[in-house]
Each structure stands twice: as C-alpha cells, then as structure tokens.
Amino acid sequence: MALKSTIYKAELSVSDMDRPYYGSHALTIAQHPSENDARMMIRVLAFACEATETLTFTRGLDEPDEPDLWDKALTGDILHWIDLGQPDETRLKRAASRAERVTVFTYQSASAREWWKGIAGKAGKLRNVTIYNVPQDAVDALAGLAQRAMRLSVTIQDGEIWVSDDDHNVQLTLDVLQRAA
C-alpha cells in the first residue's frame, strides 16, 4: 500500500513592496511522503516570493516533468516555472525553453554551493533563469513554522523577507546566485 500525502492548509497574506504585490491566498499543500517540513515550507516561501493570482502548486514530486509551482496562461503557456532543489542542466534547459521565466530556490547550503560551482557556467547562458539560495538558518526556522493549519504573513521589502505566524517571526534574505537578464 502506497503512503498518502499529508494535507496542510495555510492562510497566506503576502505584502511584497518590491514588486508591488499584495494578496491573500488560501493554500492547500500536499506534503509528499518523502518530503520533510523544511522542503514543504520552502515551497510556501517560493509561493510567497513569486505570488500572483494564478500561481499554483503542481503535483511536484509525483510528476517529474512538472515544476513545484507554476503560473500558466489561459492558453496553457507556462509563464513562470518554479523549481526547488538542485535541478540538473537538462532540466534547467527544458524549463527555460518551455517557460517565459524560470526561478530555482536551492535550500541545502553545503550541497547547493557544490551544485552551483558545477552548473554556474551552463546556467549563465539561460537568460530567463533566476536562482536563489535560502540560507540554512532560515530553512530550519521556516521548518519550525510548519503546522497542519497555518496562518502566515509574509512581508518583502528591499530584499528582506519576514515570515510570521501568531507566535514566531523569521527574517531572511535570499542569496542571489543568478538573476535573469
């Protein structure tokens, strides 16, 4: 018998003064049996950082040909492809050719540095790809916010990100490894 995903619910309020974008989202997050709280919360962070009215979670780990999140036009065209982790060169190239924009959030600092050394030259040729690294202390703090029912507020200003629930605040700055041209 296959293990089932654990369902989390989040009321997410985003105030992104850098874009500007302000919105509230009722999220249903399916945590894959192989996914830990840290990775799930990085998906929520990625959603908050790139939020639009049409951004959605995909089948993610259950579907290797889909990103973790995407924003699609009514025509089916992929406007924004968002991946987590350390995609290989083939996956990055495929994403860059299928979507107008691609964003990657890495979150395992030690291995992410090695991954970036190996892929930086190849990724640099992909003009529509942005890559961020989430600092390890922020990953750990975000994992501590995971609950089956969450009410999160995310504020973004001047590159600083504040994530808070009723009891805790997490402040972080994403390390920009590559910014799309």
* pLDDT: which is higher, 32 or 144: 144
Mean pLDDT of the region 85-111 = 95
Q: So what's the pLDDT on residue 60?
A: 66
Mean pLDDT of 89-109: 96
User: In the prediction, which pLDDT does 2 show?
Assistant: 64
d(Cα 111, Cα 157) in Å, to the nearest integer?
Answer: 28
* pTM, to two decimals: 0.95
CA-to-CA distance for 77 and 86, rounded, in angstroms?
Answer: 24
Question: In angstroms, rounded to a whole number, what is the distance separating the alpha carbons of residues 50 and 30?
Answer: 19
Domain that includes residue 41, residue range: 6-178
Per mean pLDDT, which range of 32-36, 85-89, 146-150 is the poorest? 32-36
Question: Is 147 within the bounds of a domain?
Answer: yes
Q: Is the pLDDT of residue 107 over 70?
A: yes
Q: Which DSSP string do the residues of 165-176 spell out, in sequence order?
A: -SS-EEEEE-EE
- Taking each helix axis as running N to C, give the angle between helix 109-123 and helix 89-98, from 0 to 180 degrees, rounded to the nearest 10: 60
CATH value at residue 29: 3.10.640.10
Q: Is residue 12 in a domain?
A: yes
Q: How many distinct structural domains can be found in the chain?
A: 1
Residue 160 within a domain: yes
> What would the mean pLDDT of 90-100 be, rounded to a whole number?
96
